[in-house]
Amino acid sequence: MKPVLLLARRELATFLNTWWGWAILAMVLLIDGLLFNAFAMGSSPRFSADVLEDFFYFSSGTTMIAGVLLTMRLLAEERQAGTIVLLQTAPISEGQVVLGKFLGAMGFLFIITLLTIYMPILIQVNGKVSWGQIGAGYLGLLCLGGSAVAIGTFGSAVSKNQLLAAVIGGTVLVLMLLGWLLARITEPPISEVLSYSALFDRHFQPFMRGRINSESLILYGSVIFGFLLLSTRVLQARRLQ
Amino acid sequence: MIEVRNLSRYYGDHRAVDDVSFSIEDSQVIGFLGLNGAGKSTTLKVLAGLLSPSAGTVTIDGVDMEGHDVSFRRRIGYLPETPPLYDEMTVTEFLNFTGSLRGMGSADLKRRIPEVVTQCQLGGQEGRVISELSHGYRKRVGIAQAIIHSPKLIILDEPISGLDPIQIVDMRKVIRGLAEGATVLVSSHNLPEIEQTCDRVLVLKDGALVADDAPGALAARLNTGLSIELTLTGTGEAVTAALAGVEELERTEILRDHGDRVVVRIDMVRDVRETVVQTIVGAGLGLRRLEDAKDELEEIFIDLNQGDAA
C-alpha cells in the first residue's frame, strides 16, 4: 500500500503545482456557480429540495467532465515523456501503479467537489433541506466522478497521446451514460443489461433525491474496479507487446 | 552473477534478439556494442524487466526473472537513452521519490542521497529544478536514480550519447566508479568509449551475439591488434624506403607528411615491432612516437558487422 500512497501523493501534488489542476478546479466551480444561480435558484419560488436536486443534476455533468480531464494525462503523459520507465522498473505491480494514479486523481476531484459545498449550504441557510439529501447527493457525485476517473484512467492507459486519451475516456463514458437510450430500442435481456449499466439514469437520480440504493453502489463499484483492472491489464500487456 | 540463456525477443514477426546467451561475473563493466537496430536496447530492456522475453531465461544470482518480476526489479537499476526525469522536481526531490518507489525508508534515503550525489558528480545541483539542468547533468541524474537503491545490476543505455568531450571524460569516471559492488552494462555505438570503460565487450549484429571478449582480446583474435601508428622524423620517401626492407609487413601507409616529420601506419602480419623500430633507427630516422592504431575496435566492429569474422 505504501507505494500506492506515494504515487497518489505525487499525483495530487502535481495537480496542486500545475496550472492544469487549478484550471479544472476553476472551471468546475465557475460553471457550477453559474448554473446554480441561473437554473437551480431560478426566478420563481421553488422548494429547497428541488433546488438541491437540480444542483446535483448539473454538478454530475461537471464532475464527470472534470474526471475525464484530470485523468487524461495520468499515464499518457508518463509514456510520452518516457518517465513510465521509472514505474515499470520499480518493484511495484501495474495494479499498484494504476491504483495510485486513480487515488491521486480521486483526491483532487474530492477537493473540487468539496469546494462546491457552499451551494447546498446556501440552500440550507435560506431554506430547508435534509442533511441526508446533501450527503446522499455528494456520495452520488463521488461515485459517478469515481467512475469517470476510472474510465479516464483507462483511456490514459490505452493512448500515449493525452488528447486521444481524453477522447477515448470521454467516448466510453458517454456510451455508458447513454445505455438507457439503447435499452429502449433493444429487446430483453440486452435491454435489461443496458439499462442497469447506464451510469446516470437509473443509478444517479435516486442520489439526487437523497436515496441511496445498494444496487447503484455495487454498479459504480464494479465500473471503477472493472476499468482499473482493464488499465492494469493494458500496462501488463505492454511488457509482452 | 548474471546469466542469460537462449534469450530471444520478437516484436510481432520481427526478431529483435536472437538466441543470445552470456554470463557476467560481479563487479565488471560490460559493453554492448552494435549498430542501431542490432538489438542492444531490446536486450537491455529485457534485462531491466521492461519487456518480457519471448524465449530464454535471465537469472541473477540463481534467481530466475520469470515469476519474480517485482522482487527482481529491486536488484536492477536502469537508465534508458532518454533519462526518465520529472522535470518539475528538484534533484533531491526526484531522488527521494525514486528511492521511496523502490522501497527505501527515509533514513536510508538521507544516508544514500549524498553518496549518490557525490558518485554521480552532482554536487551543488541538489536543489536545482531538473528542467533547468544541462544535458550532461540530466544524464547524471538519470544514473543517480538508477543506482539510488544500490542495485546489483546497473543498466545504462547509451549513457554518453549527446555529451560533449568534457562531459564524456567525467561520465567515464562515473561509470567506472559504479562497478565497485555492482555489475554495469553499458550500450554504445561509440567504439573508443566502450574500449576505455569496459572490461568486456559483447557485440550484437541483427539481434545475435557475434563476439564476446575483452576489448584487447577481441582485437588480438581478429588480428587487427597488429596495426601501429608511428611518428618519425625524416622524409616520407626515406621512411618508405627503409620499411620496404622489413618482411612481414602487410601494408605501410603514410597518414600525414609534414616534410621533416611523418605519421605512418603499419599493418603487420605478426607482431614485429622490434624489427620495425631497429630498422627505423638503423636508417637514421628518429622515432618520436609508437602506439596501437586508434581505430582498432572500429575496424573489428565493421568487420563483425560485415560478417567477415565470428
Let me know if residue A241 belongs to a domain.
Answer: no
Least Cα separation, residue B115 to chain A (angstroms): 21
pLDDT in tens, chain A (241 residues): 788 999 999 999 999 988 989 999 999 999 999 988 887 777 777 788 888 888 899 899 999 999 999 999 999 999 999 999 999 999 899 999 999 999 999 999 999 999 999 998 888 888 888 888 999 999 999 999 999 999 999 999 999 999 999 999 999 999 888 877 887 787 888 888 877 778 777 888 888 888 888 888 999 999 999 999 999 999 999 888 7
Which chain B residues are within 8 Å of A11, Cβ to Cβ?
Answer: none
Task: Say yes or no to pLDDT of B310 above 80.
Answer: no
Give the domain range for residue A171.
2-236
Residue in B294, B278, B303 with CA at minimum distance from that of residue B227 = B294
**B interface mutation test: which of A15, A86, A93 has the most B CBs within 10 A?**
A86
Let me know if residue A174 belongs to a domain.
Answer: yes
Yes or no: say if B283 and B262 are a contact pair by the CB < 8 Å rule. no
CB–CB of A86 and B145 under 8 A?
A: yes
**Which H or E run contains B229?**
strand B227-233
Yes or no: say if B295 and B269 are a contact pair by the CB < 8 Å rule. no
Let me know if residue A16 belongs to a domain.
Answer: yes
Which chain A residues are within 8 Å of B48, Cβ to Cβ?
Answer: 89
DSSP category for residue B14: E
Q: Which of the two residues, B213 and B137, has the higher pLDDT score?
A: B137
How far from the centroid of its chain's Cα atoms is residue A173's Cα? 10
Let me know if residue A222 belongs to a domain.
Answer: yes
**B interface mutation test: which of A89, A101, A232, A235 has the most B CBs within 10 A?**
A89
Note the residue count of chain B.
310
Q: Which of the two residues, B247 and B77, has the higher pLDDT score?
A: B77
Beta bridge partners of B256: B263
Q: Are residues B93 and B214 in the same domain?
A: yes
CB–CB of A88 and B84 under 8 A?
A: no
Tell me, yes or no, if A87 comes closer than 8 A to chain B by beta carbon: yes
Question: What are the cell numbers at B28?
Answer: 565488471
Residue of chain B with shortest Cα separation from A241: B11
Yes or no: say if B166 and B182 are a contact pair by the CB < 8 Å rule. no
Q: Give the CATH number of the domain where residue B247 resides.
A: 3.30.70.260
Number of domains in chain A: 1
Let me know if residue A206 belongs to a domain.
Answer: yes
Beta carbon pairs, A and B, within 8 Å = 61
Average per-residue pLDDT for chain B: 84
Residue in B246, B200, B204, B250 with CA at minimum distance from that of residue B225 = B250
Structural Rg of chain A based on CA atoms: 19
Which chain B residues are within 8 Å of A18, Cβ to Cβ?
Answer: 88
Residue B309's pLDDT is what? 40
Which chain A residues are within 8 Å of B51, Cβ to Cβ?
Answer: 239-241
Number of domains in chain B: 2
- What's the complex ipTM? 0.86
**Boundary (domain end) residue, out of B176, B201, B221:** B221
Tell me, yes or no, if A185 comes closer than 8 A to chain B by beta carbon: no
**Boundary (domain end) residue, out of B221, B248, B273:** B221
Q: Give the CATH number of the domain where residue B32 resides.
A: 3.40.50.300
Q: Are residues B244 and B153 in the same domain?
A: no
Report the alpha-carbon distance of residue A41 to residue A55 in Å, rounded: 9
Q: Are residues B61 and B204 in the same domain?
A: yes
Cα angle A236, B18, B67; round to 5: 35
Report the alpha-carbon distance of residue B193 to residue B169 in Å, rounded: 10
CB–CB of A89 and B103 under 8 A?
A: no
- Those residues whose C-beta lies under 8 Å from the C-beta of residue A86, and which sit 6 or more positions away, are B84, B98, B101, B145
The residue with cell 476517473 is A149
Residue A230's pLDDT is what? 96
Q: Are residues B89 and B206 in the same domain?
A: yes
Report the range of poorest mean pLDDT among A105-119, A182-196, B228-242, B275-289.
A182-196
**Nearest by CB: A91 against B70, B82, B88:** B70
CB–CB of B84 and A82 under 8 A?
A: yes
Report the alpha-carbon distance of residue B238 to residue B245 in Å, rounded: 12
Which strands form B55-60's sheet, in the order they lie side by side? B14-24, B2-11, B55-60, B63-64
Q: Are residues B156 and B247 in the same domain?
A: no
CB–CB of A6 and B78 under 8 A?
A: no
Give B96's pLDDT tier (boundaries 50, 70, 90).
very high
Least Cα separation, residue A155 to chain B (angstroms): 21
Give the domain range for residue B253.
225-306
CB–CB of B84 and A86 under 8 A?
A: yes
Let me know if residue A114 belongs to a domain.
Answer: yes
With H, G, I as helix, E, B as strand and everything else as coil, classify residue B200: strand
CB–CB of B97 and A89 under 8 A?
A: no
**Which H or E run contains A120?**
helix A118-126
Cα end-to-end distance, chain A, whole Å: 28
What amino acid occupies position A189?
Answer: P
Which chain A residues are within 8 Å of B101, Cβ to Cβ?
Answer: 3, 6-7, 86-87, 90, 92
Residue B300's pLDDT is what? 63
Residue B210's pLDDT is what? 82
Residue B220 half-sphere exposure toward CB, CA atoms < 13 A: 6
Tell me, yes or no, if A95 comes closer than 8 A to chain B by beta carbon: no
